[in-house]
Amino acid sequence: MVRQLSSCRWVQEHQAVLITGATGTGKTYVACALAQQACRKGFRAVYRRASRLFDELRIAHADGSYVRMLTRLARVDVLIIDDFAIAPVSDEERRHLLELLEERYGTRSTIVTSQLGPNDWHDYLADPTLADAICDRIVHHAVSEC
């Protein structure tokens, strides 16, 4: 699977990659290795831990730079969201995540790492409507789950 992903076809086809597993299994390492390979092939990548991403989006929303930040993140070829579903998520964070994923949907690729498997994301997100929309933009259009 890693060899197949190293071709970066998933980046060219604007798909997501989901990497799940227990702490210490190398999820972040694999995500960063895939992003580094994408960079070697000329793509641009950004790494953010989910908690930091949510903080940055909240601050940007408060200081008026939200649209600019969203646009910048929407244009990067590969966005890594690391350690997704580690801490409880607020209503605002769910809405920001959906907005970001909507901006990237079908035009850019996203890597999500999580200790929680995608089957549990609905319960984690705790809002059926937003959970459906978020999962649709990540889970249902993923290359595969590692």
- pTM score, two decimals? 0.95
R_g of the chain, CA atoms, integer Å: 14
Domain residue limits, the chain: 2-117+134-145
Residue 80 CA to residue 109 CA, distance in Å, equals: 9
pLDDT tens, residue by residue, 102-113: 999 999 999 999
CATH architecture entry for 2-117+134-145: 3-Layer(aba) Sandwich (3.40)
pLDDT tens, residue by residue, 73-125: 999 999 999 999 999 999 999 999 999 999 999 999 999 999 999 999 999 99
Check residue 83 and give left, alpha or beta (phi > 0: left; psi -120 to 50: alpha).
left
